[in-house]
Amino acid sequence: MDTTHTEALTGTLTVLGMFVLLVLPSAIGIVRERRIDRQLREAGQENRRAEQSEDQKSSSKPTEPSTATWYAEGRRSKKLVSSWTP
């Protein structure tokens, strides 16, 4: 190997190294996004399964409104009273 070949190899390796340095953050980001998408998809499937099982359970027994619903209904039925006086 003479000087010309050594310089060509050095130049090629330098260009490839710079290319890797430029592409690496993007590749890491793509892998991270795909992992997050997969986790969101799995969580959505679990939520759908839970909702389906809740629908099946709730259809077999009567439901009662929660305390929050009862409180909100009572608040809605009252008239709005303003304490501001001109």
The total number of structural domains that make up the chain:
1
Q: Which contacts (CB < 8 Å, 24+ apart) does range 30-37 have?
A: none
The pLDDT value given to residue 50: 85
**Is position 35 within any domain?**
yes
Structural domain of 34: 22-56
**Is position 7 within any domain?**
no
Q: What is the pLDDT of residues 19-73, one digit of tens each?
A: 999 999 999 999 999 999 999 999 999 988 888 887 666 555 566 666 666 555 5
Q: What is the pLDDT of residues 1-25, one digit of tens each?
A: 799 999 999 999 999 999 999 999 9
Residues comprising the chain, all counted: 86
pTM score above 0.85: no
**Is position 41 within any domain?**
yes
